[in-house]
């Protein structure tokens, strides 16, 4: 429940949760936080990693999405997610799995991003399977994909967001032909540029 529903470890100490479990089964003894963090979650994580490794061994191609972000504590990370078509007994399905969230300890250059991505691909055994990488439009991300010799696609949602932000900064100007034209506003004083 904690892993699947992204619940905090402290939930097992919450009075409401304990009362709820007690109402379901008064004989059930809730595990300690220590057992949860030192035994059960590492075991669950190990099973999840092994399952994902087994799935990745069976696929020929994967796509990667990645994005750099900064935490509230001002620490920078690169999130890396893998996507592929998995096969179950009777059908195919899209599988997405977070591979890593790597701390970015140096400047976010194309070379540093390439190094991080290469290490994660190697760790998961997918170096030769990555066929496409989807990122924002940051120059360093685009260049990192080029350095890796992997096809780069810009994130559609990110691009659409940029278009909408720019459109909001525009002013409609009518023309004599009846076609509406837009002119960009200057960010500093809203003058037309």
pLDDT digits (tens, 9 = 90+) for 123-155: 999 999 999 999 988 899 999 999 999 999 998
DSSP string, 32-81: PHHHIIIIIHHHHHHHHHHHHHHHHHH-S-EEEEEEEEE-TTS-EEEEEE
In the structure encoding, which two tokens stand for residue 83, read together? 């996507």
Residue 192, pLDDT score: 39
Q: To the nearest 5 percent, what fractions of the chain are helix, strand and coil? A: 45, 30, 30
Answer yes or no: do 100 and 137 share one domain.
yes
Answer yes or no: do 81 and 137 share one domain.
yes
* Residue 177 three-state SS: coil
Answer yes or no: do 92 and 117 share one domain.
yes
β-pair type (130-135, 62-70): parallel
* Residue 125 three-state SS: coil
Answer yes or no: do 66 and 147 share one domain.
yes
Answer yes or no: do 80 and 150 share one domain.
yes
Answer yes or no: do 67 and 146 share one domain.
yes
Answer yes or no: do 44 and 71 share one domain.
no
Sign of CA dihedral 84, 116, 158, 8: positive
Domain that holds residue 179: 156-193
Structural domains in the chain (count): 3
Answer yes or no: do 78 and 140 share one domain.
yes
What would the pLDDT profile of 67-114 be if each residue is shown by its tens digit? Answer: 988 888 888 899 999 999 987 767 888 999 999 999 988 788 999 999
- pLDDT at position 122 over 90: yes
Answer yes or no: do 26 and 51 share one domain.
yes
What's the pTM? 0.73
115 secondary structure, DSSP code: H
């Amino acid at each position: 429940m904690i892993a699947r529903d992204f619940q905090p470890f402290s939930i097992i100490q919450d009075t409401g949760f304990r009362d709820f479990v007690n109402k379901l089964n008064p004989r059930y003894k809730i595990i300690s936080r220590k057992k949860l963090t030192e035994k059960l979650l590492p075991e669950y994580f190990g099973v999840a990693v092994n399952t994902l490794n087994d799935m990745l061994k069976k696929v020929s191609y994967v796509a990667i999405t990645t994005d750099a972000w900064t935490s509230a504590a001002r620490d920078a990370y690169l999130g890396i997610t893998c996507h592929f078509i998995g096969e179950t007994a009777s059908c195919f399905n899209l599988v997405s799995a977070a591979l890593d969230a790597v701390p970015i300890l140096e400047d976010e250059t194309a070379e540093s991003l390439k190094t991080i991505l290469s290490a994660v691909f190697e760790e998961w055994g997918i170096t030769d399977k990555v066929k496409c990488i989807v990122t924002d439009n940051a120059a360093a991300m685009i260049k990192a994909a080029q350095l890796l010799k992997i096809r780069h696609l810009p994130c559609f949602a990110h691009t659409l967001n940029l278009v909408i932000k720019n459109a909001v900064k525009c002013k409609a100007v009518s023309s004599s032909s009846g076609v509406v034209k837009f002119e960009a506003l200057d960010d500093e004083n809203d003058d037309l540029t």
